[in-house]
Amino acid sequence: MIDVKHVKKSYGRKRVLKDISFTAEKGEITCLVGVNGSGKTTILNAIMNLTPIQEGNILIDGKQLTKETYERMTYIPDTITMLPSMKIQDAFAFMKEHYHAWNEKRATELLSFFKLEKEEKIQSLSKGNKAKVNMLLGLALDVDYILMDEPFSGIDIFSREQITDVFTSHLIADRGVIITTHEIQDIEHLIDQVVLLDEGVVVRQFYAENVREEEGKSIVDVMREVYRQ
């Protein structure tokens, strides 16, 4: 369980996160939804200790983050986290060298699933293929939690489909996933839990299934309610 408790953060005078609390369970897909600038990315960065927070704390399975946590939790930001000059196989080698959790077999599977070639240089890939490689590098790690920042932004429709396919596969099952997005339609059916953010606060946190069964509403319906007010 990733437990975010009363996290506050500001850049100078600008308060980005006012008081953020939510939990994300293992085996569930939690989606942080909000307009641009609502602090989604900052939350992911804070969970990964990539940016300091002023108040509150974040626990991963009840513990503070340590360097070992990075063997159990990985982050897929919205741009690729490998050197553009590397070939895909170099990136694999780098991952293999530094992570025990690296699963070479799965990486190779994903490579053929995404129809990519090992010899290709990252910088010469199309935007969609870069996103796929980026995702691949995260998914090929045997980790409990995966954080993804806007995995669909600016990606062509076919790549988008391939990526959403991943969510329904065994690659995601049993893992805890936190995903941010500002356009929910594509993945609405995949999501377990939704955290609605607005101007640095959590306005609502709910399970999609619950609102569907109890209130007969879709996620978008709830969003409409919340954001139209």
Partner 1 sequence: MKSFIKLLNFEFNRFFKLYVTLFIFMFVVQVGGIVISALSYNRTVNNHLAEGIAESSVIEAVGMFSLAGHMYHLYFVGPLFLSLIGILFYTFFIWYRDWLGKNTFIYRLLTLPSSRMNVYFSKLLTIFLTGLGVAAFQLIIIFLQNQLVHLIVPDVFRVDLSTVYVTRHFSLLLTMFPVNVSEFISYQLLSILFIVVIFTAILLERSYRLIGLVYGVVYAFVMFLIFLSPTIVQFILGYEYFYPSELVMLLVVTGVIVLVSSLLFSRYLMNKKVTV
Residue closer to partner 1, measured from CB, 73 or 202: 73
The Cα–Cα gap between 64 and 16 comes to: 22
Residue closer to partner 1, measured from CB, 37 or 84: 84
213 binds partner 1 per the rule CB under 8 A:
no
71 binds partner 1 per the rule CB under 8 A:
yes
Span interacting with partner 1, options 73-81, 174-182, 190-198, 221-229, rule CB under 8 A: 73-81
Quote the least distance from Cβ 11 to partner 1, whole Å. Answer: 8
Q: How many chain residues interact with partner 1 (CB under 8 A)?
A: 27
Helix (H, G, I), strand (E, B), or coil: what is residue 51?
A: coil
* Nearby residues of 78 by Cβ (< 8 Å), 6 or more positions away: 41, 149, 150, 151, 153
Give, in order, the Cα–Cα distances in Å from 145 to each of 30, 105, 111, 137, 189: 11, 19, 21, 14, 20
Residue closer to partner 1, measured from CB, 46 or 202: 46
| Whether 138 contacts 108, CB under 8 Å | no
Quote the least distance from Cβ 47 to partner 1, whole Å. Answer: 11
51 binds partner 1 per the rule CB under 8 A:
yes
Structure tokens at 131: 């996103």
Residue closer to partner 1, measured from CB, 65 or 203: 65
83 binds partner 1 per the rule CB under 8 A:
yes
The Cα–Cα gap between 173 and 34 comes to: 25
Taking CB under 8 A as the criterion, the residue among 74, 129, 159, 180 binding partner 1 is 74
